[in-house]
Amino acid sequence: MADMLSRLSDGREITYFDDVPGRDRDAVDGRKLEPFAPEAEVRLDPLTRQPVLVAARRQVRTISSGTADCPLCPTRPGRRTEIPAGDYHVAVFENRFPSLGGKVGGRCEVVCFSSDHEGDMAKLPAERLATIGRAWAHRTAALSALPEVEQVFVFENRGAEIGATLAHPHGQIYAYPYLPPVQAAVLESARLHRAARGGCLLCAIVDREAAGPRVVAESEGFVAYVPEAARWPYEVHLAPRACVGDLAAFTENERAELMGLYADVLRRFDRLFTGPTPYMAAWHQAPVRHRADLDHLYAQIFTTRRAADRYKFLASSESAAGAFINDVLPETAAERLRSA
């Protein structure tokens, strides 16, 4: 199915991905926006040697929970939004308030999963999940080809409780011009494992977890499990059994299988407690330029909720010392998610 690339009035790109061919998404953005000029900078913490992104313009980004002022709903007569088309299946556009870009390099994109403001990733039909997977793969390949990009990071934040500023079903993609600290640490661990034992670190982890007590759900090609040293009370890693570096490297059938299992895990999170469970989902793809050492992706899904009426806050130990304390035994969390 052909994907349609267009431009917003300030010059940003928007691409439509449809479940079926033949859709017309050539609506023109009628807003009078100033030319897009992202402003961000990277500063290095001299104590930890870790980069920090500074993007002050994000202070004025849009916050919305309803349809009246939602910038991700389709454009309607009398109200123009970030999506010029009157309807869409999946739309991807450059973030108007990015954390990257400009002199820093890299890029931030928004991925809208549905035109339905009340939609939910976990409840979308298989054909829409496949379209989202195709959009993620397309953008991963395109962003990985940018000369300054080192890491393509696909993620979703759902729920005001974890800081999501828009209620419309959507996620984001950050194309970092450097390796973020977690990815850099995983790369170093993969290198040490390969030097000491040979082979892929993630393959070894997946093989071990697939045979253990923390499996939550699985399919022929993928395993979803609570990691042995989970940081969050309810945290699941979802990984392919074989080495696949990023979402663009899967076949269409493999990606459909992956997206089906991903939605299964999200539904299990929703059944843990009463009402929709706030969660974060992150796709840790292989770094663009270090595939010889690390070429195995995994998704990380977790909630900040640790009980029906309690949340896990990052207090001093986690926030200042970086020492996580988990309140739920990972084996117990896996059993509850299997039963959910």
pLDDT, tens only, 147-190:
999 999 999 999 988 888 899 999 999 999 999 999 999 999 99
52-61, 142-151, 196-205: least confident range: 52-61
Four-CA torsion 139, 175, 290, 224, nearest 10 degrees: -70
Give me the mean pLDDT over the 95-102 stretch.
93
Percent of the residues in the chain that have a pLDDT greater than 90, as a whole number:
86
pLDDT, tens only, 237-258:
999 999 999 999 999 999 999 9
pLDDT, tens only, 102-115:
889 999 999 999 99
The pLDDT, as a whole number, for residue 111 is 98
Banded model confidence at residue 285, pLDDT cuts 50, 70, 90:
very high
pLDDT, tens only, 263-274:
999 999 999 998
The pLDDT, as a whole number, for residue 1 is 55
> Residue 196 contacts by C-beta under 8 Å, 6 or more apart in sequence?
none
Q: How far is CA 82 from the centre of its chain?
A: 20
Give me the mean pLDDT over the 264-287 stretch.
95
d(CA 92, CA 82): 10
Percent of the residues in the chain that have a pLDDT greater than 70, as a whole number:
99
The pLDDT, as a whole number, for residue 2 is 57
Is the pLDDT at 333 greater than 90? The verdict is yes
Banded model confidence at residue 25, pLDDT cuts 50, 70, 90:
confident
pTM: predicted TM-score of the whole model, two decimal places: 0.95
d(CA 266, CA 184): 27
Banded model confidence at residue 226, pLDDT cuts 50, 70, 90:
very high
Is the pLDDT at 340 greater than 80? The verdict is yes
Is 296 assigned a catalytic role? Answer: no
The pLDDT, as a whole number, for residue 72 is 96
Provide φ and ψ at 13, rounded to 5°. -85, 145
The pLDDT, as a whole number, for residue 57 is 76
Give me the mean pLDDT over the 18-34 stretch.
89
pLDDT, tens only, 33-65:
999 999 899 999 999 999 999 988 777 667 776
Q: Which of the residues 89, 117, 138, 170 is marked catalytic?
A: 170
When the pLDDT of each residue in the chain is averaged and rounded to a whole number, the result is: 94
Which domains can be identified in the chain, with CATH numbers?
Answer: 4-180 (3.30.428.10), 182-339 (3.30.428.10)
Is the pLDDT at 20 greater than 70? The verdict is yes
The pLDDT, as a whole number, for residue 294 is 97
pLDDT, tens only, 81-93:
999 999 999 999 9
